[in-house]
Amino acid sequence: MTYTIAQPCIDIVDRACVDECPVDCIYEGQRALYIHPDECVDCGACEPVCPVEAIFYEDDVPEQWSMFTADNAAFFSETLPGRDEPLGSPGGAARLGALGVDTPLVADAPPNEA
C-alpha cells in the first residue's frame, strides 16, 4: 500500500508534504506532485499537512479520483513526454528537483482554481 496525491493538488503544488516526508519520496512534476509507490513507507506524515486535502491512503482515495492511484505509479514507470525513459526509482526527490513534466491525466486536466 501507499499514499496517493489526487486532483486537488493540480496547479496548487504546495510543498508542505515534501517538507514533511521523512523518506523524500514525493516528486514534483510541472502541475502536480507524485508519491513514488515503491519509496513510500506508508508513514502518513504527508497527509495531514496538505492544505488542499489531496493526499489519501491508497484504500481511501475517493471514487471520483481513483484513477490517480495508477497515475502516481505511471509517473515513475512510463516514459512521459519530454523523457527518454521512465524515471524508475531514483531513491529520492530532493536531488532531482522539479521535473517539469506530468502524466497525461494531469497535463490534460482543466486548470484547478482551488
**Per residue in 22-48, pLDDT tens?**
999 999 999 999 999 999 999 999 999
Domain that holds residue 24: 3-94
- Residue 20 CA neighbour count, 13 Å, CB half: 16
- pLDDT confidence band for 114 (50 / 70 / 90): low
Model confidence over 45-54: pLDDT tens digits? Answer: 999 999 999 9
Residue 58, C-alpha cell as written in the block = 491508497
The dihedral of CA 24, 41, 104, 18: what is its sign?
negative
Domain annotation covers residue 106 = no
Establish if 99 belongs to a structural domain: no
Q: Is 109 within a domain?
A: no
Reduced to 3 states (helix: H, G, I; strand: E, B; else coil), residue 27 is strand
The string of pLDDT tens digits covering residues 83-100 is: 889 999 888 999 899 999
Q: Residue 45: inside a domain, yes or no?
A: yes
Q: Is residue 107 one of the residues assigned to a domain?
A: no
Report yes or no on 73 lying in a domain. Answer: yes
**What CATH number is given to the structural domain containing 10?**
3.30.70.20
In a domain, 114, yes or no: no
Mark out the alpha helices in 36-113 (DSSP H runs): 67-77, 104-107
Domain count, the chain: 1
Query: Would you say residue 66 lies in a domain?
Result: yes
**Residue 84 per-residue DSSP state:** S
Average pLDDT over residues 58-80: 95
Q: What's the rounded mean pLDDT across residues 100-109? A: 95
Instruction: Calculate what percentage of the chain has a pLDDT beyond 70.
Output: 98
